[in-house]
Homo-oligomer: A and B are copies of this chain.
Amino acid sequence: MRPVQIGLLGLGTVGEGTARVLFKNAEEIARRAGREINIAHCCSRNQSLAAELSLTNVLTDDPFAVVNNPDIDIVVELFGGDEPARELVITALNNGKHVVTANKALIALHGNEIFKAAQEHGVTVGFEAGVAGGIPIIKTLREGLAANTIEWLAGIINGTANFILTEMREKGSDFSSVLKQAQELGYAEADPTFDVEGIDAAHKLTILASIAFGIPLQFEKVSITGITGITPQDIEYANELGYRFKHLGIAKRTDKGLELRVHPTLIPKKRLIAHVNGVMNAVVIKGDAVGSTLHYGAGAGSLATASSVVADLVDITRALTTDSENRVPHLAFQPDALSDLPIVAEDEVASAFYLRLRATDESGVLAKITGALADRDISIEAFLQKEPVQVGDDVDIIVLTNKIQQQQIKAAIAELSGLDVITEDITCFHVEMFND
């Protein structure tokens, strides 16, 4: 089947990521979508990057050439900003092309017009990448929680603001010095107004609220307060009272109507969302059936945002390719494209391990244990020896190992169990660091 032909507008952070994801995962994506996705036209002035991405042959500096190209099925708008993005998207839709965009300002401000044009021409506009980067929050709200009357949602939906608040708390620094650091790290723009004053979060909240509550987009109704008024003292006082500061976008159904607000918020530390730190994003959704759900991930970044752009491309490709009742294969991949990836035998599974050994309380015990482990090339990452409750009692010795195969730890346990100083069966559990 002919590949789906996409026209890419922009090779900035997200555009470059989109091209890289489409190339790197081309085979898996085709196995999922049932069809290849091909960059057939690309508008950028960055000729060296285009060359690096092997896009020179399809490069243009005229975006209207892309949206008017009759061979293009889907236009991917990654210019950002207002014009010419709006005009390009409308032109693409009028030409009967589907559109995917990461442009939250465009959708929040012009979405009503854009969706109307899409509907008139029977095409789709995907904007998953516009809210919370790589977190599939639009799909979750629009489809995954479609059974619910949504009561409220609240999100950390601007990574820059969350990074600044996290640093202020961890380092005790004030707003302006952390902002400067964030700018140096590339987490904040030279003009940080959109992020720190809450405009960007309000764009995203506008979109989430419309989808959650079935109302038209109305950015102008959001009440917005930024994070510039928070001092290190406030963060410390909140901490003493058991709270964390987060910059939240909140949409809440009340008896009087819908509250739409972006502002700094104290949240009890015991809530999961209070532990979302750095540039990460998270959205909590309260539905009347499901209760509270939380969705967490990278809210920005080249590849993470591209993950959502390409998910929208796969969505549209699936719809273009199969009958709608079989749009998504049961096991995600096309039935004729399952893989025979082997399953690793239990003995060859690798992880770090926790060992608890009960041993006599005498000198030399530790040396025997560590020696036996060292002989098998098992290193000790952490260690805990408890004092005996009474003199003469046996003692517990706890060892965390490095990452090894299960058969190695089994063999080590067999050997350690034979030591005369070990007085009970050895307990062993897996340890996972979640850092890869």
Interface residues of A (CB under 8 A from B): 17, 21, 24-25, 28-29, 31-33, 98, 111, 115-116, 118-119, 122-125, 128, 134-136, 139-149, 151-152, 154, 210-218, 221, 223, 229-231, 233-234, 237-238, 240-241, 243, 245, 248, 250, 253-254, 256-261, 263-268, 271-273, 275-276, 284, 286-298, 301, 303-304, 306-311, 313-316, 319-320, 322-333, 335, 337-344, 346, 348-350, 354, 356, 382, 384, 386, 396, 398, 400, 427, 429-434, 436
Contacts and interface: CB of A to CB of B under 8 A. Distances in A.
Number of copies: 2
Contacts of A215: 338-341
Contact of A304 (B210, B290, B344): B290
Contact of A146 (B217, B310, B400): B310
A140 B140 contact: yes
Contacts of A223: 346, 349
A25 B149 contact: yes
A431 B243 CA distance: 9
Contacts of A289: 17, 21, 25, 134, 303-304, 306-307, 310
Nearest to A306: B289
Contact of A349 (B261, B292, B303): B261
A432 B286 CA distance: 14
Given A241-B384, A310-B147, A295 B298 contact: no
**Chain A binding surface SS class:** mixed
B400 A241 contact: yes
B257 A342 contact: yes
Contact of A141 (B286, B332, B349, B434): B332
A417 to B, nearest CB: 16
A292 B284 contact: no
A24 to B, nearest CB: 7
Nearest to A336: B119
A276 B384 CA distance: 26
Nearest to A221: B343
A389 to B, nearest CB: 12
Nearest to A398: B237
A115 to B, nearest CB: 4
A261 B214 contact: no
B432 A314 contact: no
B342 A434 contact: no
B311 A146 contact: yes
Q: Which 5 pairs between the two chains have the least Cβ-Cβ distance? A: A136-B144, A324-B324, A147-B310, A293-B297, A214-B333
Contact of A356 (B146, B233, B259): B233
A349 B21 contact: no
Contact of A344 (B118, B258, B330, B349): B258
B243 A325 contact: no
B293 A134 contact: yes
6 contacts: A25-B148, A125-B330, A140-B140, A212-B332, A290-B298, A292-B298
B288 A429 contact: no
Nearest to A256: B344
B328 A324 contact: no
Contacts of A332: 141-142, 146, 210-212, 214
